[in-house]
Amino acid sequence: MRVRPLLDWPDSAASGQGADAGPAAAALDEVARLLEQGPVAVLSGAGLSTDSGIPDYRGVTGTLRRHTPMTYQEFVSSELGRRRYWARSHLGWRTITGARPNSGHAAVAALGASGHVAGVITQNVDGLHTAAGTRDPIELHGSLARVICLDCHSLSTREALDLRLRRANPDFQDLAASRINPDGDVELDDDAVAGFDFVPCDVCGGMLKPDVVFFGENVPKPKVARCYALVDDAHAVLVLGSSLTVMSGLRFVRYAAKAAKPVAIINQGPTRGDAHAAVRLEAPLGPTLTALAARLA
C-alpha cells in the first residue's frame, strides 16, 4: 500500500461520503461510554500535534495547500531532490526536536495508563506520543529521529546526522527559515538549497534517508500486521486528528468497521472515514481529550 499525496477526497455528491454522512456527531459522553466498554486502539494523525507547533497537511491551514511533499521516487532518483530535502529538513529539524507534547498527547498517555487505550497507531513522525509517556506506539510512517542508509540499511540517530551536517555547512544555521511542514522540512529558496552540502552514510558511503515513509513508498508489511493485530485485540478504534485521506490509515478504520467494531472519530473537519463512525465528535483535541481522561480516571 503506497502513500499518496492527496489534498482532497471525492465530495459527498460523488462518493456518498462527507461531513454529514454516517451517524450524527456525538457528545463526549458517548465517546466515554465507548471507552468504558473495553480498551480501544487509537489511530492518531497530524491534528493531534498542531498544538505542539507542528502543522497538519489538510486542515484549513494545511501545508498541502502551499507545498508538495517529497516523494520516494524523487528522493531516490534525483540528487537535486535529495539536496533540497536535506537542506530544508536540516533547518526544520530544529522545530521538530524542540516540539513538546501537548495536553492531547498527555491525555492519550493517561488513557493508556488507566487501561482504556490498548495501544496507539500514529501516522505522525514527530515522536511526541513517546515523549508524553505512551508505551510502544506503532509509528506507522516511521520517525524523523532515525536515519537509514538505503544501501547498507544501517540505522543511526538524527542527532548524529545533525552534527555531521552542521560541520559540513557551518554557515547554514544563520539562514532564516520560513514555515515548518508536518514532514519536518521548511520552505527555502533555491539559492539557499544550491549551497547546501549533504553527507553520505558514514558506514558504507551510501544514500541516507530519514527513517520515514515518504509519499509513494510502502509501509513495511510487518508494521501493518502489528496494526491489524492491535485492532483485532481492541474493543473499538478511536481516531484522533486525522482526515483519513491516506489509505495507510483509513484501511484500519475500514477493517474495524467490517469486523463490526465501533469506530469513534474526534477531528476538526470532515474525514474520509465518517461513514464508518458510530461516534463522530467535532471538537479541539487538547481540551476534549483532557476532559475525557479526567472523566475516566
Q: What pLDDT shows up at residue 226?
A: 98
pLDDT at 12: 34
pTM of this structure: 0.86
Strands 208-212 and 142-149: antiparallel
pLDDT tens digits, one per residue of 118-134: 999 999 999 999 999 99
Instruction: Please state the residue numbers annotated as binding site for Zn(2+).
Output: 149, 152, 201, 204
Strand order in the sheet with 142-149: 155-157, 142-149, 208-212
List the grid coordinates of 44.
492518531
Q: Is 130 among the domain residues? A: yes
Summarize pLDDT for 145-188 with one digit per residue, the tens.
999 999 999 999 999 999 999 999 988 866 655 556 666 667 77
Residue 14: pLDDT above 50? no
83 and 43 within one domain: no
- Which has the closest alpha carbon to 241: 115, 110, 108? 108
Tens of pLDDT, residue by residue over 176-219, are: 555 566 666 677 778 888 889 999 999 999 999 999 999 899 99
pLDDT above 70 coverage of the chain, percent: 82
- Among 94, 75, 91, smallest CA distance to 83 is for 75
User: Does 237 lie in the same domain as 132?
Assistant: yes
Q: Residue 98's pLDDT band (boundaries 50, 70, 90)?
A: confident
Is 129 marked active-site? no
pLDDT at 3: 52
Residues 124 and 244 in one domain: yes
Boundary of a domain, candidates 189, 212, 235: 212
Using an 8 Å Cβ cutoff, are 238 and 44 in contact? no
Residues 123 and 234 occupy one common structural domain: yes
| Domain containing residue 50 | 23-54+101-141+217-297
Does the CA dihedral 154-155-158-159 come out positive or negative? negative
Q: Specify binding-site residues.
A: 45-65, 123-126, 149, 152, 201, 204, 241-243, 267-269, 285
- Contact of 169 with 90, CB cutoff 8 Å: yes
Looking at 160, 194, 212, the residue that finishes a domain is 212
The pLDDT of residue 91: 85
Out of 105, 141, 153, 235, pick the active-site residue.
Answer: 141
